[in-house]
Amino acid sequence: MAWSVGGEGRVTVVRLLHRWPDRYGVVGYTTSGRYGETALVGDVPVPGVPGLSLMDVAARHRPDLMYGSTGTEGFAEACWLISVGWSARTVPKPGTLELPHAVWILDVDRTVDLGVVMYGHIRLHVGRLTLTDPDQMTRARALARPQ
């Protein structure tokens, strides 16, 4: 059953290659919880661009080879997605959109409780991310265009 979670704070938005050689989507990364213990990574919906199943994108990168498994279904994929978001924030590449204050809603497709700490997070919510400010949403969607 899908559900939504909302919040406000820092959101990092990046262009993500999801099918070689030229199919891009846009993802946003933020955190929630008193200490940011929950990572949220969401596909930003872009008109004309098919929605991304971020767990499927992660699985195609074979994250199990890097992160192994704790026996938790989706663990390696969750770690890969958290790494994508955290890396985009800490070492931004050209075109990264950093929104220091954004109000957002994530329609959650999946939650993975990691059982370990990954970049300060113990859980991941993954799904579809919407920024409530129309200007911020327009700027985020613009990242999907060819650079």
**Domain spans of the chain?**
3-142
User: Would you state the pLDDT for residue 147?
Assistant: 65
Question: Is 88 in contact with 99 (CB distance < 8 Å)?
Answer: no
Alpha helices, DSSP H, located in 2-127: 54-60, 64-67, 75-90
Pairing of strands 38-43, 121-131: parallel
Spatial separation of the C-alpha atoms in residues 28 and 95, rounded to whole Å: 13
User: Would you state the pLDDT for residue 65?
Assistant: 62
User: Would you state the pLDDT for residue 70?
Assistant: 61
For residue 130, the cross-strand partners are 105
User: Would you state the pLDDT for residue 100?
Assistant: 97
User: Would you state the pLDDT for residue 50?
Assistant: 81
Using pLDDT thresholds of 50, 70 and 90, give the confidence band for residue 24.
confident
* Averaged pLDDT of the chain: 90
pLDDT surpasses 90 at 72: no
Using pLDDT thresholds of 50, 70 and 90, give the confidence band for residue 66.
low
**Mean pLDDT of all residues in 29-38:** 95
What pTM was computed for the model?
A: 0.92
